[in-house]
Amino acid sequence: MSQIATRSFHAIRQALLVKQEVALIDVREEAPFAEAHPLFAANIPLSKLELEVYARIPRRDTAVTLYDDGEGLAEQAANRLAALGYSQVALLEGGLAGWRDAGGELFRDVNVPSKAFGELVESVRHTPSLAAEDVKALLDAKADVVVLDARRFDEYQTMSIPTGISVPGAELVLRARELAPDPATRIVVNCAGRTRSIIGTQSLVNAGLPNPVAALRNGTIGWTLAGQQLEHGQTRRFGEVSERNHQQAAQSARAVANEAGVGRASLQELARWQAESARTTYLFDVRTPQEYEASHLPGARSTPGGQLVQETDHFASVRGARLVLADDDGVRANMSASWLAQLGWEVHVLDGLQDSDFTARGAWQPPLPALPQPAAIDAQTLAAWQAEGDTLVLDFTTSANHVARHIPGAWWALRSQLPQALEKLPVAKRYVLTCGSSLLARFAVSELEELTGKPVALLEGGTAAWVAAGLPVESGDQHLAVPRSDRYRRPYEGTDNPREAMQGYLDWEFGLVEQLGRDGTHHFQVI
């Protein structure tokens, strides 16, 4: 691409206001993205562009606008997207600074549209909540109360409220009557911070559950700031649902979806939409990953409903696209769709599905471009080369994975920051590249060859193959060639965050409604 076109802040804003499709892509790593970005920007780092872009921007003639903050990454991304077949790629005029200078609002953190919407829901609906001290008093008194954790199961396992049961967001309306069959039982919904507990609680209220329901105010952060102890490593999960409770949940979920303006679609309509050349249609299966792997509609992506509502920008990176949701129970798709409609999306639920329609099996596989086929070696060969010396291993997995486990002596680097990494790396006669599976590393082989002029090989099967061969690994962050900017440290994650960071995060969330008003492009409507 010789001359890359540009798009202005005003053109992007106008497209958002009239609900045209907008793919505004921040190609920096997640940590700098989380420092400041437009409300509807999606983060697809240059370092793993090829692995994510086909799923996240499926239509190749989508108007894609790329930006960075002056690092020169957006130009590289534009050329790479052109090579991948994208025909309407442009750079944001002036980059992030241009957006700011034109008067555009900038937001902190990740998944901001959903978090800002959650705050709006609470402000409009006055979603009931209880302080951590009040919930603990109920638990201590052995009151008739059940605590339902609306996060992903892995997040719940990391830390949870005592007695809490894992019921990820989209499962709440389907499962709550089973878990609290007595209408007098109080239900407390929690997450780590605020959004998923607000949305989960309001889902139960919207669906007409007879029980008293409240969100745990400020989630596990609020629990920790109150000086109360969390549990770790818990495995309590929901069970089966009776036919009676299932029918009640399905009726109420459909009524909520209808009120929110959710559309209905058949498989025939879906096929027609997917064939359209001028409109993007995403197909999401909002059941649990286990159900998806057992059987699903061909072409559907596994996006458990609670996470789809929380991370819509990650799964549907084209704002203004059409979303189509599927389940096999009439509850989870309708409840998830009711929130997506309120978030300003055109969303439809597939009706009339039969078991025979769910013909695909296994985990979701992202669509990928043709994979480079560089020279590759096996783990035993690498071990022999390391024993001889003069071989440097570069690891392109996530920094968290690298710190947890890597090949002895391997250096961690970001593919998009190879020139900077080389300034810190020791001199080597040859390089071997790895990542968890070797998928991302294979894209970096030719780039490193060009930069160094040295022989570069791929470790076939990546670090997983090294481990499978029974070879030793080490842990730690002693060999980081560039800073760990690939992931933003969320103040509500983990168990060792400073109290100031947790309180600061809550203060930021409280200010999101005001920011939404200043931005003015969201089209959010709370029913």
Contact residues for 15 (Cβ-Cβ < 8 A; gap 6+): 21, 22, 63, 320
Residue 484's pLDDT is 95
DSSP codes of every residue in 429-446: SEEEEE-SSSTTHHHHHH
**Which is the CATH superfamily of the domain at 5-109?**
Rhodanese-like domain (3.40.250.10)
Looking at residue 44, its amino acid is I
- Quote the tokens at residue 269: 């309509």
Q: Write out the H or E segment, with its range, that includes residue 165.
A: strand 165-166
* CA atoms of 409 and 1, how far apart (whole Å): 39
pLDDT at 490: 72
Confidence (pLDDT) at 282? 98
Instruction: Please write the tens of the pLDDT for every residue from 230-269.
Output: 999 999 999 999 999 999 999 999 999 999 999 999 999 9
Q: Cβ distance 404 to 436 under 8 Å?
A: no
* Whether the domain at 116-238 and the domain at 376-468 fall into the same CATH topology: yes
Backbone dihedral region for residue 172 (phi beyond 0: left; psi -120 to 50: alpha; all else: beta):
alpha
Query: SS3 of 346, please?
Result: strand
The pLDDT value given to residue 495: 57
CA–CA separation, 339 and 478 (whole Å):
44
Query: What is residue 511's predicted lDDT score, i.e. its pLDDT?
Result: 79
* Residue 261 φ/ψ region, left for φ over 0, alpha for ψ in the -120 to 50 degree band, beta for the rest: left
Distance CA 393, CA 205 (A): 54
Q: In what order do the strands lie in the sheet with 88-92?
A: 5-7, 88-92, 63-67, 23-26, 41-43
Look at residues 147, 335, 113, 308 and name the one whose alpha carbon lies nearest to residue 223: 147
Class of the CATH domain delimited by 254-357: alpha beta
Residues in CB range of 246: below 8 A, 6 or more apart: 174, 329, 331
Q: Collect the ranges in the chain with pLDDT lower than 70.
A: 1-2, 491-498, 501-502, 504-506, 508
Helices (H), strands (E): how many in the chain?
A: 24, 20
pLDDT of residue 1: 44
pLDDT at 225 (0 to 100): 87
Residue 200: its pLDDT value, please? 96
Tell me the domain boundaries of the chain: 5-109, 116-238, 254-357, 376-468
Check whether domain 116-238 has CATH 3.40.250.10, yes or no? yes
Q: What topology does CATH give the domain 376-468?
A: Oxidized Rhodanese; domain 1 (3.40.250)
pLDDT in tens, 293-348: 999 999 999 999 999 999 999 999 999 999 999 999 999 999 999 999 999 999 99
